Amino acid sequence: MAASYWDSTQKKFWTFTKPQLQLVRQKLEESDRNIVSLYPLPDRRYLSIYFYHQLSKMARPLGIRQQALATAQVYVRRFYTRVEIRRTNPALLLATALYVACKMEECPQHIRMILGEARHCWADTSFTDVTIIGECEFTLISELDSQLIVHHPYRSLTELQNQFQLTQEENSLAWSIINDHYLTDLPLLHAPHVIAITAMFLAVVLKPTQGGMQGSAAGLTAAMQTLGNARNATGGAHIRVQKLVDWLAESQVDIEAVVECTQELISLYEVWESYSDKACKDQIAKFVKARGMDTRRE
């Protein structure tokens, strides 16, 4: 296992620039132009929210840790840079990604337990045999080139929270922001410590009493303005923001990357307000059923 992110397969093979990621996805769609035109899909962020809800439904009854859930989300996002989504049954991939992630995060779940929760989530899908998850596991690992170790921002948050004297409420909000970033492309675009620093900055600027970030796009926009003006701010709360920005300026952390991460989160929370679970489910069901993937193996 690579102890450092900088020496890891995540950095070497699974971190892209935005143009690189866009090109990868464009090539996938062009290679399957017929099915892409036949089965239009909702905004990618809507799909990410839907996938997260389904993974959470499976994970919650089994008491699966948040980090394993996050690892599963990363696996799904990586897999769909290699395979066009309309060629898969997302329900099967989500169940398999969670199963593999639990193994990698040392909280393994019996394959029959994962299968059982998957059947509860997708009653209209014929999940009757554990071998289908076993076969999909082989496909998943193969497409990911057996590069299954994921470095998360949680560790960086733990290491830095005392340095910036985060309160318990701010730390909880920062953790929540990190959880939400897995619903974006940020895990494929930026290093974990950049995500953690973004989360800490937003947690200090925003009020922890807001009780979650969903629907807080206006507050995030204000945070962007604070990031630009923090050096001239005064007062207790602003001094803490200034301390963080001063630290960023003196460190080798890319401030532009922090700004980009904040903008991506703003975009996520804006689209979240109009998210429809049913719309995503129906659009996915169209190509899954039309291509007979609700009953056959991947």
Here the CATH number for the domain that contains residue 230 is 1.10.472
What pLDDT, in 10s, does the model give residues 16-66?
999 999 999 999 999 888 888 989 999 999 999 999 999 999 999 999 999
Would residue 297 count as lying in a domain? no
Distance (Å, rounded) from C-alpha 251 to C-alpha 74? 28
Would residue 186 count as lying in a domain? yes
Are both 214 and 236 inside the same structural domain? yes
Are both 227 and 263 inside the same structural domain? yes
Crossing angle, helix 192-205 and helix 153-160, to 10 degrees?
50
Distance (Å, rounded) from C-alpha 43 to C-alpha 24? 17
pLDDT for residue 231: 43
Q: Above 60 in pLDDT, residue 75?
A: yes
Are both 255 and 159 inside the same structural domain? yes
Q: Which of 28-42, 138-152, 222-236 has the highest mean pLDDT?
A: 138-152
- pLDDT bucket at 73, cuts 50 / 70 / 90: very high
The mean-pLDDT minimum among 39-48, 187-196, 198-207 falls in 198-207
Would residue 252 count as lying in a domain? yes
List the one residue out of 79, 78, 58, 52 whose CA is nearest residue 136: 79
pLDDT for residue 182: 97
Distance (Å, rounded) from C-alpha 68 to C-alpha 70? 5
Distance (Å, rounded) from C-alpha 203 to C-alpha 166? 8
Q: Above 60 in pLDDT, residue 152?
A: yes
Are both 80 and 36 inside the same structural domain? yes
Would residue 238 count as lying in a domain? yes
Would residue 86 count as lying in a domain? yes
Are both 282 and 140 inside the same structural domain? yes
Would residue 296 count as lying in a domain? no
- pLDDT bucket at 224, cuts 50 / 70 / 90: low
- Report if pTM > 0.75: yes
Would residue 298 count as lying in a domain? no
How many structural domains does the chain have? 2
Counting residues of the chain whose pLDDT is more than 70, the rounded percentage is 85
Are both 10 and 144 inside the same structural domain? yes
Counting residues of the chain whose pLDDT is more than 90, the rounded percentage is 57
The H-assigned helical ranges of the chain are 9-13, 18-31, 33-38, 44-62, 66-79, 90-104, 111-121, 130-143, 153-160, 168-181, 186-189, 192-205, 217-229, 236-250, 255-272, 277-290
Are both 95 and 34 inside the same structural domain? yes
Distance (Å, rounded) from C-alpha 237 to C-alpha 267? 25
- What is 125-186 written as a DSSP string? S----HHHHHHHHHHHHHHTTT------HHHHHHHHTTTTT--HHHHHHHHHHHHHHTTSSH
Domain ranges, residue 209: 153-272
pLDDT for residue 230: 45
Would residue 284 count as lying in a domain? yes
Q: Above 80 in pLDDT, residue 237?
A: no
Are both 42 and 181 inside the same structural domain? no
CATH number at residue 102: 1.10.472.10
Are both 157 and 48 inside the same structural domain? no
